[in-house]
Structure 1
Amino acid sequence: MDAASLTVGYVPGGTPAKWARNWSRRHPQIPLELRTVAAADAADAVRSGAVDVAVLRLPSDTTGLAVIPLYEETTVVVVPADHLVTASDEITASDLDGEPRLLPHDDVVDWADAPGALVEHRPESTGEAIELVAAGIGVLIVPQSLARLHHRKDVAYRPIADAPPCPVALAVPEGPQPALVEDFIGIVRGRRPGSSRGQTPPTPKRTAREKTLAKQAARAAAGKVARKPGRTQRGR
């Protein structure tokens, strides 16, 4: 990693822009580069040092990496705009029984028993698969962010209520992290500027009753001192 910059990889559909904006406000003199990486290559990009950190999808081979879960995406089905399932705001897996289903080579949904009958032809990419959806060849199951990324007027998508979610995580190399990586992790986790995991937690504020008792104890102690007889000097 260049000591004066940070490179963040992210898979298609990832949304690191908010973190990048916060970084630019916190570190205006330190460039942050956002680099799109294929879902299948994201973990290797971190291991090889091609990127310093990566926003990736799980499950993935994260050997040698420390993984910080971020959020889970809704799983949706992409269909032609005039498909019957668009009559509902949300569907279930059974609504797709018997539907021809496209499975691109860059598929990222971990759903072994996903509904539908697989189409023999496997598109190379999600983008190509959505073109085939528009042509009426089949439906496609993807994370919601990918459906939004490849949105077009002749297709629509609907959440699948009983589908497994699609987890997204931040991956960094295992072991102690450089200061810039720690700062980025802090931004992702919502830490305030200057905060640190190692800082001593602030002293909790006292309740009104605790303050009253403390004042009473102080007054009582002062009264004892006032009543204590002083030493007198004996005459010779």
Structure 2
Amino acid sequence: MTGSEVPPSFRLAYVPGVTPTKWVRIWNERLPEVPLTLVAVSPAEAFEVLRGGGADAGFVRLPVDGTDLSAIPLYTETTVVVIPKDHILAAVDEVSEDDLADDIVLHPLDETLSWEHRPGLAANERPATTADAVELVAAGVGLLLVPQSLARLHHRKDLTYRPVPEAPQSRIALSWPQDETTDLVDQFIGIVRGRTVNSSRGRSPASAQPKQAKQAKQAKRPDTAGARRKPATGKSTSKNARSGSGGPKGAKRGKPRGRS
């Protein structure tokens, strides 16, 4: 390796709530020679990290900021309300927006949901982060509406959560700079989309060489389909007739002549 060559690597950004473990494991199995580095980012900074080259691709929350980034929507999260375990809403399976009308609903600055009409009562101040808002819920200050993955991420023993079917939902997508769709980015897209290792778009050029070599070898091999054919019925073979194996079925051997 010369001084100008840089060994390949792949940097993957992800926002809170996303668990990339499964895809990282598959990457390490298929491309062990290319190390993958995880880059934790907030939803607000995720797109600038991609634009600035801080990551090759990333799991983000839609909508994508700008047209210079490509994105593949992956899944939609259920929205839940985080409540104290002794709250009256803990007794129901689902919560409606009307059920929140008399409660203070916290609105953190790193909000991941887009509301047209926010339910509940507004707090005097907005918490700086979702983590801060969870602490306020535990203190009995108010309730919090978040994607379910964030409720799990900030789980506390004294809190629980319930789904809110009417609330807006958050969608997770894989995003990358449109002009930087490299071979490694395409490899990771294939992993996320579930392409197998034998897929023409999901394997490295090196992995295709053994199959191509085998096909070339078979093409050069002469046709031997007619090389071995059974003799026509009734014709003798090249075997010695005296052995009896080449004669008609059921024929008797003559007695050997005696010596004089």
TM-score normalised to the size of structure 2? 0.73
2:189 to 185, 205, 214: 185
Displacement, 1:94? 1.3
Residue of structure 2 equivalent to 1:93: 97
- Larger % of helix: which? 1
Q: Deviation string for 1:164-220 (max 9, x for gaps)?
A: 221111111113611111000000000011313599xxxxxxxxxxxxxxxxxxxxx
Residue 99 (structure 1) shift: 1.1
Q: Identity rate of aligned residues, in percent?
A: 50
- Tell whether the 8 Å contact from 1:59 to 1:110 is kept in structure 2 after alignment: no
Match for 1:106 among 103, 110, 113?
110
Q: What secondary structure, in the 3-state scheme, does the structure 2 residue paired with 1:110 have?
A: coil
Higher relative contact order (CA 8 A, sep 6+): 1
Q: Does 1:38 find its partner at 2:42?
A: yes
Quick one: structure 1 residues 198 and 60, their matched pair in 2 at CA, closer, same or farther if it must change by over 3 Å? closer
Aligned residues: 198
Residue identity opposite 1:103 in structure 2: H
**Matched-pair contact (CA < 8 Å) for 2:76–2:169:** yes
The one-character-per-residue Cα deviations of 1:93-115 (angstroms, maximum 9, x if unpaired) are 11111210111111111122121
**Which of these two proteins has the greater Rg computed from alpha carbons?**
2
1:3, CA displacement in angstroms?
A: 5.3
Structure 1's consecutive aligned runs of 4 or more residues displaced over 6 angstroms after TM superposition are none
User: Alpha-carbon deviations, 1:126-180, whole Å to 9, x = none?
Assistant: 1110000000000001000000000001111111011122111111111361111
SS in 2 for 1:182: helix
Mark the runs of 5 or more structure 1 residues left unpaired by the alignment. Answer: 200-236
CA contact (8 A) 1:98 1:115 kept: no
SS of aligned partner of 2:44 = helix
Match of 1:7 in 2: 11
Q: Is the 8 A contact 2:80 2:164 kept in 1?
A: yes
Is 1:144 the counterpart of 2:148? The answer is yes
User: Which residue, out of 149, 157, 174, partners 2:161?
Assistant: 157
Unaligned stretches of 5+ in structure 2? Answer: 1-5, 204-260
Paired with 1:175 and 1:194, the residues of 2 have a C-alpha distance of: 26
